[in-house]
Amino acid sequence: MDAADVPELLRGRYQQWSWSLVQRHPGEVAVWRLERGAGRARDLRYLKVAVASRFPRLLDEGARMRWAHPYLPVPGVLDCASDGQVDWLVTAALPGRPASDEPLQADPERLVVLLAQGLRRFHAAPVQRCL
C-alpha cells in the first residue's frame, strides 16, 4: 500500500494535514501519522489502510478497539470503513511513549514491569462482552 492506494475521500479529507509514513507492508497495509496545527491546537491522528481482502480486516480491528475503549487505554476510533477495495481505520493518538523507545529499552526491568501491568489490565477486561 502507498499513498496512491488511499481512497480519494480520505486524501481529500486530510489534504491540509501533514502525512508521515509510519509503517508499510507493500501491497497489503500502510500506516500514516496525520498532523495539523501546533501547540495546544495540534491535532494528531493515525490512518491505517489495508486491502479489503486482508485478514483480519480493519473493520474487525475497529470494532474490537471500540469494544476495548471503556476497559483499556486504546486509541479512540474516529472513522472505520471500506470502499470494497480498501479498508481504513482512523484513530486518535494516545498520550505516552512506545515501549520501543530507547529509554525503556535501556531499562528492561522497568519495561517488563510496565508490560506486565498492561497485560494484567488486558486480562481483567470482561471477556463475555468481547467481540
- CATH number for the domain spanning 36: value is 3.30.200.20
The Cβ of residue 57 has, within 10 Å, a number of other Cβ atoms equal to 17
In the predicted model, what is the mean pLDDT of residues 124-131? Answer: 78
Strand ordering across the sheet containing 18-25: 18-25, 29-36, 43-51, 86-92, 77-82
Residue 105 CA: distances (Å) to CA of 64, 74, 96, 112, 117: 29, 22, 15, 10, 17
For residues 66 and 109, state if they share a domain. Answer: no
The reply to whether 37 and 63 lie within a common domain is yes
The answer to whether residues 117 and 56 belong to one domain is no
Domain membership of residue 47 as a residue range: 3-94
Same domain membership, residue 76 and residue 36 = yes
Q: How many CA atoms lie within 13 A of 31 on its CB side?
A: 7
Does 101 lie in the same domain as 84?
no
Q: Quick one: 84 and 102 in the same domain?
A: no
- Predicted confidence at residue 122, as pLDDT, reads 87
**pLDDT by residue (tens digit) across 31-88?**
999 999 887 778 999 999 999 999 999 999 999 999 999 989 999 999 999 999 999 9
- Asked if the model's pLDDT at residue 130 lies above 90, the reply is no
Cell numbers of 54, please? 486482508
The residues, ordered by sequence, that sit 6+ positions from 86 with a Cβ below 8 Å of its Cβ are 1, 5, 6, 7, 49, 50, 51, 52
Same-domain check for residues 34 and 78: yes
How many helices (H) and strands (E) in the chain? Answer: 4, 5
Q: Smallest Cα–Cα separation from 44: which of 22, 73, 29, 70?
A: 22
Report the number of distinct structural domains present in the chain. 2
> Is 102 in the same domain as 90?
no
